[in-house]
Amino acid sequence: MIGVFLGSLLGTMALGMPIAFALLLSGVALMYFLGIFDSQIIAQNLISGADNFPLMAIPFFMLAGELMNAGGLSQRIVKMAMSMVGHIRGGLGYVAIIASVLFASLSGSAVADTAALGAILIPMMVKSGYDVNRSSGLIASGGIIAPIIPPSIGFIIFGVSSGVSITKLFMAGIVPGVLLGVGLCITWAIVAHKDQVKVQPRKSMKEILISVRNGFWALLLPLIIIGGLRGGIFTPTEAAVVAAAYALFVGLVVYRELKLSELFHVLVRAAKMTSVVMFLVAAALVSSWLITVANLPEQVITLLEPLLDHPLLLLLMINLLVIIIGTAMDMTPTILILTPVLMPLIEKAGIDPVYFGVLFILNNAIGLLTPPVGTVLNVVCGVSKISMEDIMKGIWPFLLVEVVVLILLILFPDLVLVPLEWFI
């Protein structure tokens, strides 16, 4: 059964079929193999897969990200970071890292954050004399912080697929996300001295305060989201609605950069991004149902039974598997396909499901930086107009430090679990 499922999935993908349709066809192949083919089952699971209240957070967070970019919130975050650290040697790199962390706390989409930040900062960094390959690599590496820091679309999809609390996943991602930012800062400090660059003029305290005041409304959003979730004021789905409404209000009324005439185009862009993700989710949940019916998780548990008494070895094996799969498959389908297979194994091994969720999503986020698929890499290559080969020359030190952070989290679970107790 494993051979039928994987063979049909990978075979259709190798033929160039979109992943959502490949998932549906692999489900059909598995149904034929089990002798239970029924087109109504496919239709019912497609509809029920998308008809899920927690999944409503995805379109609203995507809409919030689009509204922030169009309404001037994103630009003000970059200007604020620039006023604080732009005068330091390599300052634009630190601006990119700080902005990546702040962007991550606003939208939760690695692709959207990377595209917005790359369009703003890469031309500025190249003009100031920074190496274009290294600058592009840094922007791409900073972009994958978005699936880790709340609000994270990756955590929402994992939470829906696994039944794990999305609020707990959000809170557990805060410290690992900050660790990624710190790791990138240390790495940038080591490699940035190679570039002969222009240093931005130091801003006066008055200019810094003005930039902070201008960015105040943008900075207030993550505090509202995290405070509301921690205080039990709203659910993650309701938090997404609050984020979209807040971004719309600030863009239209406070900053007045978002025009009513632009609103339709913003909604269309958000709808297009949402439709891709939601169709993937619906198609994957058809396969997920069949994986459960076919009892594949129990077969995987039997295969890996010798490792159940050694959680560390089990986690290392699973993460190695996810890294390999991440080179060939995008983040969302990987989460949707592997979660129903791996969660019974994790529960039987006694591993905390929230802790595993953080490791799993971080590993999948790193997969966004690994060729040939590497969605975030492709976005940055398009923005900076360089080849995949060139960006790999610049990204490897940052990619390496993010793998080191993943290994540290595997070896020291308290880096996730202890802060989680503080935030919940």
Indicate the domain borders of the chain: 54-423
Residue 361 in this model has a pLDDT that exceeds 90: yes
Average pLDDT, the chain: 84
Structure tokens at 348: 């039987």
Letter for the amino acid at 109?
S
Residue 403 in this model has a pLDDT that exceeds 80: yes
Percent of the chain with pLDDT over 90: 19
First to last CA, the chain: 41
**Residue scoring higher pLDDT (422 or 157):** 157
Residue 424 in this model has a pLDDT that exceeds 70: no
| Low-confidence winner among 54-58, 317-321, 413-417 (lowest mean pLDDT) | 54-58
Q: Provide the 10 A C-beta neighbour count for residue 12.
A: 19
Letter for the amino acid at 120?
I
Q: What is the pLDDT of residue 373?
A: 66
Strand ranges (DSSP E) for 201-266? none
Q: How does DSSP assign 317-383, residue by residue? A: HHHHHHHHHHTTS-HHHHHHHHHHHHHHHHHHTT--HHHHHHHHHHHHHHHTTSTTT-HHHHHHHHH
Average pLDDT of 389-408? 92
Query: Rounded to two decimals, what is the model's pTM?
Result: 0.82
**Residue scoring higher pLDDT (309 or 290):** 309
Separation CA 77–CA 94 (nearest Å):
13
- pLDDT tier for residue 323 given thresholds of 50, 70 and 90: confident
